[in-house]
Structure 1
Amino acid sequence: MFKYNIIGNALRMSSSLDKQIVEQECSNDLQLFKGMKLLKASIDGKHNMQSRLEFVLQSHQTEIKNLEIKNCIIDLRQAQGQFEDITFTNAFLQEVQQINLVRLQFLSIQLELLQVSYNMAKLLALILVESIIRKTNSITYQVSTSAFLEVGKVLLSLIVRSPIRYQTTFPL
């Protein structure tokens, strides 16, 4: 019987699947091995996008801080009744627009990450269910409830580790 815990633990660690473990577990089942290679590629893709996201955040931190300082200066000038400095205000608005574009880029990367997680979950469910059916040589009720619960647990761990948690690291 296929060992579900191996895949579950590898996914919960969320770093990368150990190639040797995957080869050991799936060497007797070529279809399953191909599926696991696809899953590993999805996970690698997810980590590449996380790196891109971190780069975007780091490269714009200074601009965001400068923007906050300028915002305070404008608030002070308005409080003192100094509205003459139109050029400064326009420059400020242009920077606001630029930062909003960065935020859109950030959200777009987040959507990509969620799509990868969703695809991983679908692929994993297909691999596990197909494996269970193949190992029991039947498409009837021989597939046990506990096996499907195991599939559910792994999928739940994917949802819990969803990249949506990165929203808190960027001031929106």
Structure 2
Amino acid sequence: MGDTHIYMEMTLEPTTLTDLDDALFDIQRVARRPGYRRRLLAAMDAPVELSTVRVLRAVERAGDAAPSIGDIADRLTIDPSTASRFVDQQVAAGYLLRHRCSDDGRRSRLTLSDTGRALLDEVTAARRRILAEVTAGWDSVDLDALGDLLARLRDDFDHLESQA
């Protein structure tokens, strides 16, 4: 079965897809609102730029692969020059460590420093507190279903993009 749901002919009503598209757009908008950012930053011990969080999470999500600047640019869908500037800032701040590739001395790999790990853990805890507050009236079945469906949607978007 696996990815068969990607290839199924769509039989949904156009309004269903419009409602889904509207909801996805609205969720992105909500997460970018100043109020959400203020709440997130207020939960932190020290102010942090959201670009810092995005870069650190991209490194974390790469796992043991120790991403390059190009990998960060791809994950964040930004120009390599912008990714390079962001990475340089995080290295200078002590959040990331840069290691030379053993097989290509021109390239470097990135890992979280202990300070970067601590900051990312703090941000993650703050984000979870906000999500817990927002979903306080939800039952665990709904939360599990939403998580599963959003992961599936993300994977299907990734699959679609890889076909382009």
Q: Same-fold call, TM > 0.5?
A: no
Which of structures 1 and 2 has the larger relative contact order (alpha carbons within 8 angstroms, sep 6+)?
1
Report which of the two structures shows the higher radius of gyration computed on alpha carbons: 1
